[in-house]
Amino acid sequence: MTIATSLIPGLDEIVRNGDPKRRAEAARRITELYLQGAANYRADHVDLFDGILTGLVPHAELAARADLAERLSILANAPRALVGQLAREDEIAIAGPLLRRSSVIDEQALVEIARSKGQDHLLAMSERPTLSPDLTDVMVRRGDREVVRRAAGNAGALFSHAGYSGLIKRAGQDAVLTLAVGQRADLSGPQLKELLAGSVEVVRRRLFELVRPERQADIEAAMGEISSLPGAASRRDFAPAQRAVLALHDAGELNEAALLGFAKAFKYEESIATLSAMAAVKLDTLDRLIAGDRHDPILIVGKVIGLEWPTVRALILLRLGPNRVPSPSDIESARVNFARLMPSTAERVVTFWQARQTA
């Protein structure tokens, strides 16, 4: 490394004992020297630069380190140790460019960073041209909503069986993620069926519109197996449920406790039939409203018939189905909206429903 030592006299002393300012200036000058000739350096030259810069670059200012990371991110022969050092920095302006693009970071290092760093680092990695199953396993387990959505939408990402199971479980409370996962070319038939079973009708219809024609046939087949084709009317048989509700009515036991029991047991037909009887809204009207993509109809009918929040919450979980786990924030938002909903407002909406069904 005679070029570097002639450029900066006393370099060895600066690296060992120099103050931060001298080290930062040395880092700047050697970095420029490296970048100017990077395309022509042999592997042993790169290693020599690597050994010097890893001791100097941490003393450079944040802006200088961020600029260096950006420039190194596109170099196939960037110094490996230096790149690894910068990619592990907490400051995402420094780590981000390398995590997004650098081909120098090996798989083991990426997985280690994914396990130990925050959401910004995971989000940057989700944009890499390719993602291994080991890496996406960590993303699905640790990533927030945006990270998982971005990884699912990355055509170069690969997912293990466990990774897909995690994706599908999380998609149960995220329509955007459902659409991203449903459009993946490597999604198997059984996985597609599981994904659709955990989604609501409006999301299924939207996915059907987005995918390729050959995938539409797969969706139709899967939906046929779970008895709800895209755009088709509900095939539920409410007759037995109506008979059960009538028997409760005759026995004087058609009340909130019975409704709560049906909802907790995920007995959809019995729950909707009970709501229909208690709110005087036609069963098919309630079924159509509640099968949509919002909780509002449940909040409205619950307010009109004077239900307590635990029963309304159980009905929301019933609507989502046993395979979907709602986020705590969604449930809390529904609780707040239910508490704020004025009975008079709810009554006007139900009166409108009743008028439409009569017409």
> For residue 157, what are the β-bridge partners?
131
pLDDT at residue 302 in the model: 93
Coil, strand or helix at 157:
strand
From residue 81, alpha-carbon distances to 17, 135, 358 in Å are 21, 20, 74
The 10s digit of each residue's pLDDT in 262-310 is 999 999 999 999 998 898 888 888 888 887 667 889 999 999 999 999 9
Give the range with max mean pLDDT: 119-133, 229-243, 327-341: 119-133
Q: Report whether pLDDT(258) > 80.
A: yes
The burial of 252, by beta-carbon neighbours within 10 Å (0-12 exposed, 13-18 middle, 19 or more buried), is given as exposed
Residues 305, 311: Cα–Cα separation, whole Å: 11
Least confident segment among 83-97, 136-150, 228-242: 228-242
- Cβ atoms within 10 Å of 313's Cβ, excluding its own: 21
Q: Report whether pLDDT(4) > 70.
A: no
Residues 88, 111: Cα–Cα separation, whole Å: 12
As a whole number, mean pLDDT of residues 10-33 equals: 64
Per-residue exposure over 289-310, b if at least 16 CB sit within 10 Å of its own CB, e if not: bbbeeebbbbbbbbbbbebeee
Which domain covers residue 52, as residue numbers? 1-105
Our count of domains for the chain comes to: 2
Please indicate, yes or no, if residue 119 is contained in any of the structural domains: no
Last residue of a domain, one of 105, 129, 153: 105
From residue 101, alpha-carbon distances to 69, 76, 78, 132 in Å are 10, 10, 12, 14
Residues in the chain: 359
Please indicate, yes or no, if residue 271 is contained in any of the structural domains: yes
Helix 20-37 to helix 43-56 angle, to the nearest 10 degrees? 160
pLDDT at residue 16 in the model: 53
Please indicate, yes or no, if residue 311 is contained in any of the structural domains: yes
Please indicate, yes or no, if residue 145 is contained in any of the structural domains: no
From residue 126, alpha-carbon distances to 111, 155, 207, 306, 353 in Å are 12, 11, 23, 47, 46
pLDDT at residue 233 in the model: 42
The 10s digit of each residue's pLDDT in 84-98 is 999 999 999 999 999
Please indicate, yes or no, if residue 7 is contained in any of the structural domains: yes
pLDDT at residue 230 in the model: 43
As a whole number, mean pLDDT of residues 30-52 equals: 78
Q: Report whether pLDDT(19) > 90.
A: no
pLDDT at residue 245 in the model: 87
Please indicate, yes or no, if residue 276 is contained in any of the structural domains: yes
Please report which confidence band the pLDDT of residue 20 belongs to, taking 50, 70 and 90 as the band edges.
low
Please indicate, yes or no, if residue 325 is contained in any of the structural domains: yes
| Residue 352 Rama label (left phi>0; alpha psi -120 to 50; beta) | alpha
Please report which confidence band the pLDDT of residue 131 belongs to, taking 50, 70 and 90 as the band edges.
very high
Please indicate, yes or no, if residue 110 is contained in any of the structural domains: no
pLDDT at residue 227 in the model: 55
Residues 56, 15: Cα–Cα separation, whole Å: 7
The 10s digit of each residue's pLDDT in 104-120 is 999 999 999 999 999 99
Give the range with max mean pLDDT: 73-82, 130-139, 262-271: 130-139
Name the residue with higher pLDDT: 347 or 322. 347
Please report which confidence band the pLDDT of residue 102 belongs to, taking 50, 70 and 90 as the band edges.
very high
Please report which confidence band the pLDDT of residue 358 belongs to, taking 50, 70 and 90 as the band edges.
low
pLDDT at residue 336 in the model: 93
Mean pLDDT of the chain: 85
Closest CA to 254 of 279, 232, 231: 279
Containing 27, the helix (H) or strand (E) segment is helix 20-37
Name the residue with higher pLDDT: 92 or 200. 92
Calculate what percentage of the chain has a pLDDT beyond 70: 88
Please report which confidence band the pLDDT of residue 351 belongs to, taking 50, 70 and 90 as the band edges.
confident
Name the residue with higher pLDDT: 212 or 18. 212
Q: DSSP state, 232?
A: P
8 Å CB contact between 196 and 222:
yes
Name the residue with higher pLDDT: 334 or 138. 138
Last residue of a domain, one of 105, 125, 147: 105
pLDDT at residue 27 in the model: 73
Coil, strand or helix at 131:
strand
As a whole number, mean pLDDT of residues 29-57 equals: 79
Last residue of a domain, one of 85, 105, 125: 105
pLDDT at residue 235 in the model: 56
8 Å CB contact between 65 and 94:
yes
Q: Cα 183 from chain centroid? A: 15
> For residue 131, what are the β-bridge partners?
157
Please report which confidence band the pLDDT of residue 1 belongs to, taking 50, 70 and 90 as the band edges.
very low
Calculate what percentage of the chain has a pLDDT beyond 90: 43
